[in-house]
C-alpha cells in the first residue's frame, strides 16, 4: 500500500513505490484544467495515472479531487485510462475498503485480489 498527499509529480516517485498493489494518489484536476491553472503540490489525473503505471501498481485510487467535479468526478476518467492500464476506482469521501493479505511473491491480477468490501 502506498499513498501520496498534496504531492507534486517528481521523477523518483514511481521508483519509490515500485510494485505496490494499492496506490492512493492525489490527483486534483484533469490534465486540461491542470495545464490552464497549475496547482503547486498536486498532480493531474494524467500524472497520477502515469505514476501508477510506472510503479506497476495493481489498483489506483485517485483522491484529493477538486470539488468542481462534483460527487462523481467522471471527467477524470479519460486521463486516468490514457495513462494507466491497470484498474482504478475514483475515491469518495468516507470510502472504506479492506486490503487483502497474501504472500509478498504474489501479484494481484484482479481488484478482488487486493481489496474487498468497498463502500
Q: Phi, psi (5° rounding) for residue 22?
A: -115, 125
Residue ranges of domains in the chain: 2-116
Residue 49 host element (H or E): helix 45-55
Count of other CB atoms within 10 angstroms of residue 116: 11
69 touches 76 (CB < 8 A): yes
11-39 tens-digit pLDDT: 899 999 999 989 999 988 999 999 998 78
User: Rounded to whole angstroms, how far apart are CA atoms 11 and 95?
Assistant: 29
Confidence of residue 107 (pLDDT cuts 50, 70, 90): low
Angle 103-4-48 from CA coordinates, rounded to 5°:
95
| pTM attached to this predicted model | 0.84
Which of 53-57, 86-90, 99-103 is predicted least confidently? 99-103
Confidence of residue 86 (pLDDT cuts 50, 70, 90): very high
Task: Say whether pLDDT at 47 is over 60.
Answer: yes
Give the CATH number of domain 2-116.
3.60.15.10
Confidence of residue 109 (pLDDT cuts 50, 70, 90): low
Average pLDDT of the chain is 85
User: Rounded to whole angstroms, how far apart are CA atoms 33 and 3?
Assistant: 23
52 touches 88 (CB < 8 A): yes
Amino acid at each position: 500500500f502506498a499513498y501520496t498527499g498534496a504531492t507534486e509529480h517528481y521523477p523518483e516517485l514511481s521508483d519509490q513505490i515500485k510494485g505496490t498493489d494499492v496506490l492512493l494518489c492525489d490527483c486534483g484536476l484533469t490534465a486540461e484544467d491542470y495545464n490552464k491553472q497549475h496547482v503547486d503540490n498536486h498532480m493531474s489525473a494524467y500524472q497520477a495515472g502515469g505514476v501508477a503505471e510506472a510503479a506497476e501498481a495493481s489498483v489506483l485510487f485517485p483522491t484529493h479531487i477538486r470539488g468542481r467535479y462534483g460527487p462523481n468526478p467522471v471527467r477524470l476518467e479519460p486521463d486516468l485510462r490514457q495513462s494507466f492500464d491497470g484498474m482504478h476506482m475514483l475515491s469518495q469521501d468516507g470510502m472504506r475498503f479492506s486490503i487483502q493479505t497474501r504472500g509478498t511473491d504474489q501479484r494481484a491480477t484482479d481488484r478482488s485480489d487486493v481489496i474487498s468490501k468497498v463502500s
